Amino acid sequence: MEKLPVLLLALSLSDPRPCEDLAMALDPVDPQQFQGIWALVASGMQEPSGAETLKKRDSITVNVTGTSYTQAIRHGNQCMYRHQDLKMEGNVFSTQVLEWKFSGTLLKSSCTDCMVVKFEGVSASQRFLDLYLFSRRREVTQEEMDEFKAQVNCLNIPEPVLMDPTKDLLGRGQPKLTPQGAVCGDEP
């Protein structure tokens, strides 16, 4: 009889919340809450080529302001910065790059210093769906990661790529241009 409560507890822990709850959009959204620098912790990507590219990156950060964001990507001693304007309407932000239209929906998360973004891209001939987990920290707890993996699963996206938290993030310095590319501006 003593084993029954333990068994029930184990079953309840392995029983994830319904997908309707896990993929629920954050509402209302306070745009001020999402401003600042965020480190990419993990990403589930529909396209295998996107996941393979992400695996080659050391770190990615985004710096969100009211109407734009700057993405900083580190790969060894090389870095790349991308700046993009954003349009925010409710819990959805949108932007356009060439023929691609992108929209991101902020999803609910039990992680208090995380930003979970369901990111959709559409062009005339292609469409994709990714899910990103950003945090103010480099790592999240196992419970927070399990929740993110369940969200990825609910959206029928392959297993997420996890970023290596031991890799350096880009500093606040500006990139130095060299014939080989941009060298990260945070080197001494």
Would you say the pTM of this structure is higher than 0.85? no
Q: Is residue 180 part of a domain?
A: no
Q: Is residue 179 part of a domain?
A: no
What pLDDT score was predicted for residue 146? 96
Q: Is residue 185 part of a domain?
A: no
Backbone angles phi, psi at 98, to 5 degrees: 50, -125
Q: What is the CATH number of the domain that holds 67?
A: 2.40.128.20
* H/E element, 145: helix 142-154
DSSP string, 86-132: -EEETTEEEEEETTEEEEEEEEP-S-TTEEEEEEEEE-SS-EEEEEE
Q: Is residue 69 part of a domain?
A: yes
Strand, coil or helix: 2: coil
Q: Is residue 51 part of a domain?
A: yes
Q: Is residue 36 part of a domain?
A: yes
Q: Is residue 186 part of a domain?
A: no
> What is the mean pLDDT, run by run of 10 residues, along the chain of 188 residues?
36 58 87 89 94 93 88 86 88 90 94 95 94 95 96 95 90 48 49
Q: Which domain holds residue 98?
A: 19-165
d(CA 87, CA 81): 20
Give the count of domains, the chain. 1
Q: Is residue 188 part of a domain?
A: no
